[in-house]
């Protein structure tokens, strides 16, 4: 999960918590620096730096929202290149809230249906009003209130429906 200053903490840390609870390894990757500050001032120590990440080492990439965080992610050509590389290799590419805009800027959403934070629909080519949209290897979600369902969709994609159902039960979701 690439993180940049201004990321939405609920979306980043909430998804990480749910995925790690499902025994999915998740690295928090600092786009600039190894301490990233979320949009509400929460400082997080990164597991890795962007320069140390190789697409071949991962099954997918998940991008949290937060307007300022997404602006900062979108400034990184390396992030956009990596998003496209994950997509082209058929690996999971997921974005929540404002993050689908970054996916679109990277070229991931050229032919994909997706959702985005309400009011930002013009930022993606084929917007849908659903809270979660899954189109092949791309999963998108609308915002902070959809974090649990978004994370469960990622679990189902990576580990299968039984694992997602078990985690849904454990989360009382």
Class assignment of domain 2-168?
Answer: alpha beta
Phi-psi region of 90 (alpha: psi -120 to 50; beta: other; left: phi over 0): left
Nearest alpha carbon to residue 67 among 32, 109, 39, 108:
39
Is 70 a catalytic site residue?
no
pLDDT, mean over the chain: 98
| Per-residue model confidence as pLDDT tens digits over 38-68 | 999 999 999 999 999 999 999 999 999 999 9
The residues, ordered by sequence, that sit 6+ positions from 128 with a Cβ below 8 Å of its Cβ are 113, 114, 115
Q: Is the pTM of this model over 0.95?
A: yes
CA 169/CA 5 separation, integer angstroms: 33
Query: Angle between the 147-159 and 161-171 helix axes, to the nearest 10 degrees?
Result: 150
pLDDT, tens digit, 9 for 90 and up, residues 3-13: 999 999 999 99
Query: What is the mean predicted confidence (pLDDT) over 68-91?
Result: 97
Question: Which residue in the list 13, 44, 62, 97 is annotated as catalytic?
Answer: 97
Evaluated on CA atoms 48, 11, 95, 75, the torsion sign reads negative
Q: Per-residue pLDDT tens for 110-160?
A: 999 999 999 999 999 999 999 999 999 999 999 999 999 999 999 999 999
Can you give the residue ranges of every domain in the chain?
A: 2-168
The DSSP letter of residue 75 is: T
State percent of the chain over pLDDT 70. Answer: 100
């Amino acid at each position: 999960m690439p993180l940049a200053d201004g990321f939405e903490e609920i979306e980043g840390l909430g998804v990480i918590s749910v995925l790690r609870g499902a025994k999915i390894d998740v690295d928090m990757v600092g786009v600039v620096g190894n301490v990233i500050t979320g949009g509400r001032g929460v400082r997080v120590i990164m597991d890795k730096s962007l320069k140390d990440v190789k697409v071949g080492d991962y099954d997918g990439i998940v991008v949290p929202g937060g307007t300022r965080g997404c602006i900062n992610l979108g400034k990184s050509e390396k992030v956009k290149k990596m998003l496209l590389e994950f997509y082209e290799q058929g690996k999971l590419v997921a974005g929540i809230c404002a993050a689908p805009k970054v996916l679109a800027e990277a070229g991931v959403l050229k032919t994909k249906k997706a959702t985005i934070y309400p009011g930002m629909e013009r930022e993606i080519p084929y917007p849908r009003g659903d809270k979660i949209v899954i189109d092949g290897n791309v999963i998108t979600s609308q915002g902070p209130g959809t974090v649990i369902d978004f994370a469960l969709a990622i679990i189902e994609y990576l580990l299968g429906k039984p694992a997602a159902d078990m985690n849904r039960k454990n989360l009382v979701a």
